[in-house]
Structure formats: C-alpha cells, structure tokens
A and B are shown apart, each in its own frame.
Chain A
C-alpha cells in the first residue's frame, strides 16, 4: 500500500462542509421572514389562525341551516339564504355590494395559498433533511395527528375544491345548484349519502389537523409561558371537537331529515 501524500493544512472534509441548503441573500423585510423555515412556520401559524377563524365563523354561520324559514320584510325566507345575502351586502352603504366580502375572500385565499405553500416548502425541506430509519420507530410523543399533518392538510384541500365546486360554483351536475339558494343547494347535495360521507370524512380530517395545529401554533409563534402552557393541549382538543361536532352534524342532519328543504314553505 502506498503511503497517501501528506495533505496540506486545509480543514479535512466533514459533513459540515456539505450543507443540504445554501444560505441565500437576505431579501427585504417582510420577505426575509418567509425565506427561513422558522419564519415560514410563523406564517403558517398566522395563516392557520386565519383559517381557523374562518372555519369557526363558517360553522356558526351554517348553524342557521337548522333554523329553517323565517319571516324577513314580510317574506318567508330560509334563514341561511338571508345570511348568505347578508354577507354579500356587508357594509353596503359604505362599500358597493360584495366588495367587503371579496376583500375577506381575498384574505382567505391569501391565507390558504401561504399556508399551503409554506406547508409544501417545509415538507420538501424536511424530506431532504430526513433519512428514514431501517428499523421500526417507537414513537413517544409524536401522535397520529402530528405525523399526518401534511396528509390531513391535503385531504382538507381536496375537500375544499370539491366543496367549492359543489356549493359555491355549482359544477356538480346532479345537484340542481342555484345561486343564492343555499338551503336548497346544501340539502340537495348532502342528501346524497356519498357526498355526505365525503363531508364527514373530510371534517374528521380537519379536526385531526386542528388537534395538532392549534397545539403546535403556540410554539411556532413563540407563545410560551409555563403558567398557561398546560392549556394548549386542552384548547386544541376543545377546538377540534367543537369543529368536529359542528361540521359533521350538518351532513348527518341532512341525511336524517333534521335539516331539509321544502319549497312550499317559501311560497306559503
């Protein structure tokens, strides 16, 4: 064996010389935040809160499905339809009709886009950083929810597209969708057991997503105080359960006839 030539004084190659990601130039604030994983995580948490707020608000709004027909300006109308119209007319004397709604929608869309993009890019980053174990892992703290965030997230996204196509755009041909006729659209759609099951499954996944998401978000935002850290898990569980019960109740109520649509009530 030949003796290897004596190396010069350089630092020997170690894995530290091979980062898996290059450190780029720093962009101006606030973009600089979004350049790094901790910053992205923060964006995720903030958008997560926005989405959570929407989901809660949306759920409370949808409770009007239970209220059936009411009297409005002397006309009978389904409460939910009135509510939907109300949303469009939010602050109308100040803004033109639907402006504010579009503003809110814009925020919501941005939140979804950022939430999903950051989820995607962090997932990619983790995939590069991680090397799988060849033997079975024995999890101690990670739970089903924490390990399946990206999958529950994707399911929620897929559901969302379906849901918009179904109830907002009326693209599902079999449902006789009619703009503004919210109660009718919901009942028509969810009385199909397959659609109802899609809703139920998706909302269970959403609850699972929130169960970890809400817990995680405090850490990501750096909200941590030993005095109230113990409520984080409880809060996450409570929100997940509230959203689960609320949202799953709608398809079940439609299937069991608790929520129904009777056009005769409107003409009466």
Chain B
C-alpha cells in the first residue's frame, strides 16, 4: 500500500531573469509515495494556488524521460539521486518521510533563470545550428541500403544520439562545460559513414560555438554521472581528437595556396 510522505521543501523562487532569487520553504504534506517527483510539485502548486500564491514554475513536458525539458538540482545533484534517470522519472518512493529536499534551477551563465526553476537553454540549439547536422537536402538521398553501416558503428552512434538535450551535463559540471552534449552530437554524426564529408568542418564549428557560451572541460566526470542517458565521457575524447585533427589538417585551406 502506498505510504504518505511529509516533506520539507526548500525551493528556489525567482520572479524573472533580472530579479533576485531566494530559497523558500514549503511543507508538502501527505504526498503519496507513488507520485513522481513532478507530481509532488503539482500537488504543492495546487495548494499554493488555493492559498492565492503563485505556483512554482518548473520545466517539464513528456514526463517519460525523453523530451529533455525537465531538470532541476535536487539536493545538490542534477536530476536527483537516481543514476540514469531524468527528474520526471524520479519517484517519491525513493524519499523518506520527514526528508528535506532542496530544489534549485540549473546554473550556468549560458542558462539564465527565466523564472523559479525554469532556465533558458537555447545555447544548446545554437551549437546544433552551427553544424550538428548532415547536409542532405530533401530528395537528394540515395537508397537507404546503399551505404552499409557496420552494426557496431550504428550502435555506437545511437548510444551518443540518445542524448535528450536536457542540459544536466552543463548543470552538473563545475565549469559549466557543455562538452558531453556537444561531443555526443558530434559522435553521433562523426561515427556514421554519412557524416564523414562534413566531419571536420562540423567539429570545428560546433566546438567553437560551444565555447562562445560554455566553460571548458577539465574532466571532472560529473556530467556522465548526472546524464539521464548515461552518455559516455569517451565521446569528449573523440571530440577533442577530431578537433585537433581538423585544426592540424586545416582542410579549409587545402589546395588553395
């Protein structure tokens, strides 16, 4: 039978991007332990609205761990204590009656707080925009089986492509580096035969765009720990390798001098 939990929540409230934020304490009483973490916040919000207080804004959408919208710091860990789990998949049965839960938004200069727990992650889109694609205009594709892709390569690309773009890697990184996100996208495309033509141009463009917004990686490894898809840090090494190669080979200049 489901337990009921009484919790003390310490939640970051901030009225807008320019406002000063603060922690506020809420008592969440009688939370069923079958509830998900976000449903717990729903219940708190219903109570707040009833009392005429502004509900807590928090990011969420699919609630099944795939859209990458959700994500908050829970007791000092991005997406909470469950490994390989997005905030929306965290369930209250993992908490105990009487627990205090501290909830803070992602923090990074590139992720300004919009309100309460919601941050703006659009720089991640800028990274993809700068080169995170394979140029294949509609209609120009050869038959899908024309280019065989070794299963291991396809699987490895898929491992990297599983990234949901939640930004937890940035949030967890002491340097606010977006290396895991960027390298995952790069490896997805750089591993595949289809991605070879643009491999080095893509790597240069994405890395350099990343560096306009984010910090630099010192290999702390917090990112992989926080990542709901447990994306491997190996991809960061592959990215570094491709980046140096691209600079050394300097393909943009080849044949032009």
Contact between A and B in the complex (any CB pair below 8 Å): yes
Residues on A facing B (Cβ under 8 Å): 14-16, 19-23, 29-30, 32-33, 36-42, 122, 125-126, 128-142, 146-147, 149, 212, 215-216, 218-224, 226, 229
Q: Which of B73, B109, B211, B241 contacts A135 (CB 8 A)?
A: B73
Max chain B Cβ within 10 angstroms of own Cβ: one of A122, A146, A219: A219
Whether the pair A141, B224 counts as a contact (CB closer than 8 A) is yes
Given A133-B73, A141-B222, A223:B214 Cβ within 8 A: no
Mark contacts of B161-174 with chain A using CB atoms, 8 A cut-off: 1 yes-contact digit, 0 otherwise.
Answer: 00000000000001
Whether the pair A16, B126 counts as a contact (CB closer than 8 A) is yes
Q: Tell me the interface secondary structure of chain B in the complex.
A: mixed
Which residues of B are found within 8 Å of A131, using beta-carbon distances? 107-109, 176
Which residues of B are found within 8 Å of A140, using beta-carbon distances? 77, 222, 225-226
In the complex, the chain A residue whose C-beta lies closest to that of B108 is A131
Whether the pair A36, B104 counts as a contact (CB closer than 8 A) is no
Could you tell me the distance between the alpha carbons of A130 and B107 in the complex, rounded to whole angstroms?
7
Whether the pair A16, B123 counts as a contact (CB closer than 8 A) is yes
Could you tell me the distance between the alpha carbons of A216 and B224 in the complex, rounded to whole angstroms?
15
Mark contacts of B80-106 with chain A using CB atoms, 8 A cut-off: 1 yes-contact digit, 0 otherwise.
Answer: 000000000000000000000010100
Which residues of B are found within 8 Å of A16, using beta-carbon distances? 120, 122-123, 125-126, 213
In the complex, the chain A residue whose C-beta lies closest to that of B121 is A15
A149 to chain B, nearest CB (A): 6
In the complex, the chain B residue whose C-beta lies closest to that of A14 is B122
Whether the pair B176, A130 counts as a contact (CB closer than 8 A) is yes
Given A130-B109, A132-B107, A223:B126 Cβ within 8 A: no
Q: Which of A32, A36, A126, A224 contacts B175 (CB 8 A)?
A: A126
In the complex, the chain B residue whose C-beta lies closest to that of A118 is B216
Whether the pair B120, A138 counts as a contact (CB closer than 8 A) is no
The size of the chain B interface, using a CB distance under 8 A, is: 57
Is B244's CB within 8 Å of the partner chain A?
Answer: yes
Q: Which of B214, B220, B247 contacts A39 (CB 8 A)?
A: B247
Is B243's CB within 8 Å of the partner chain A?
Answer: yes
Q: Which of B10, B110, B207 contacts A129 (CB 8 A)?
A: B110
Q: Which of A33, A135, A142 contacts B23 (CB 8 A)?
A: A135
A210 to chain B, nearest CB (A): 14
Whether the pair A15, B237 counts as a contact (CB closer than 8 A) is no
Is B133's CB within 8 Å of the partner chain A?
Answer: no
B255 to chain A, nearest CB (A): 16
Which residues of A are found within 8 Å of B125, using beta-carbon distances? 16
Which residues of A are found within 8 Å of B233, using beta-carbon distances? 219
In the complex, the chain A residue whose C-beta lies closest to that of B75 is A138
B200 to chain A, nearest CB (A): 13
Which residues of B are found within 8 Å of A40, using beta-carbon distances? 216
Is B135's CB within 8 Å of the partner chain A?
Answer: no
Whether the pair B176, A126 counts as a contact (CB closer than 8 A) is yes
Is B236's CB within 8 Å of the partner chain A?
Answer: yes
Is B234's CB within 8 Å of the partner chain A?
Answer: yes
A214 to chain B, nearest CB (A): 11
Could you tell me the distance between the alpha carbons of A130 and B173 in the complex, rounded to whole angstroms?
9
Given A14-B120, A135-B104, A222-B238, A19:B224 Cβ within 8 A: no
Could you tell me the distance between the alpha carbons of A226 and B211 in the complex, rounded to whole angstroms?
27
Given A29-B248, A36-B207, A136:B76 Cβ within 8 A: yes
In the complex, the chain B residue whose C-beta lies closest to that of A149 is B218
